[in-house]
A and B are shown apart, each in its own frame.
Chain A
Amino acid sequence: MIPTSWFLILSAILFTIGVCGFLTRKNGITMFMCIELMVNAANLTFVAYARQFHQLHGIIFVFFVMAIAAAEAAVGLAIFISLFHHRETIDVDEANLMRW
């Protein structure tokens, strides 16, 4: 049996990669993919702890996170399509109408 902490370390590495990409990239869709990466790292932690404590709640929570990630991806990509129609770019620095 593989110890739980190894899965937690893998999850931490994936989450860190997601944070790094989100902070350093400017392409809106790539930033969105980094968010998906972070969500998946959190899911891995949920499943690892579900096995650790023999509880189904973690598994159920991953199910809900997947559904919410699907909704978030649909709305977010629609926002980027709308942004592209108006500004001809998906560079997030160009969307500065509400910036002070």
Chain B
Amino acid sequence: MIELAVFFFFAAVAVIFALVVILHRNPVVGALSLVASFFALAVMYVLLEAPFLAALQVIVYAGAIMVLFLFVIMLLNLQHVGEPVTRPIQQFLGYAGSAFFGLALIYYIVKYTVLQLPPGPFLSDARAVGVALFEAYIFPFEMVSILLLAAIVGALLLSGRGGQAVAR
């Protein structure tokens, strides 16, 4: 019963802060709301018996990626820049289209997923994930490390002085 209460509370937190992200004009408030939403999603991962992923969600997403967003917002001094108003037709089409999409998605989920949970505990702690990652998934793991290296080099080239010199 307490599981249900935790689920509904943190589901509401995730949805409300996600709405703040898309409705607030100030990007700093949006980034901080997104951090709160990611914390609520970490609680969801704990409820889904994946505590290792919950820790990763807090460390990588809320800790690293969102701090990067906040750094960029502060660096470009965007918190005082007003955003121009979106055209009404774009506003209407965006809200109507996404509402239709969401309702259709929920309708089909409710209609087609009547799945019974299998009995027994599901082990997805750091040990099980690590064993799978370094045995079956060792090649994709190495590819991801190369991808991250390429992203670092690309980000340096794009944002540093070198990028401007190349562009001119």
Contact = CB atoms under 8 A, between A and B. Distances in A.
Contacts, number: 229
Interface in B5-29: 7, 11, 14-15, 18-19, 21-22, 27
Contacts of B105: 12, 15-16
B163 A82 contact: yes
A14 B48 contact: no
Nearest to A86: B167
A95 interface: no
Nearest to A53: B118
A49 B139 CA distance: 24
Contact of A77 (B69, B95, B115): B69
B53 A34 contact: no
B45 A75 contact: no
Interface residues of A, number: 71
Contacts of A17: 15, 18-19, 21-22, 98
A68 B47 CA distance: 24
Interface in A11-61: 12-21, 23-27, 29-30, 32-34, 36-37, 40, 43-44, 47-48, 50-54, 56, 59-60
B73 A74 contact: no
A13 to B, nearest CB: 6
Interface string B41-54: 10011011110110
B50 A59 contact: yes
13 contacts: A8-B109, A36-B34, A47-B48, A50-B124, A62-B53, A63-B133, A71-B147, A71-B148, A72-B151, A74-B154, A81-B72, A81-B159, A90-B76
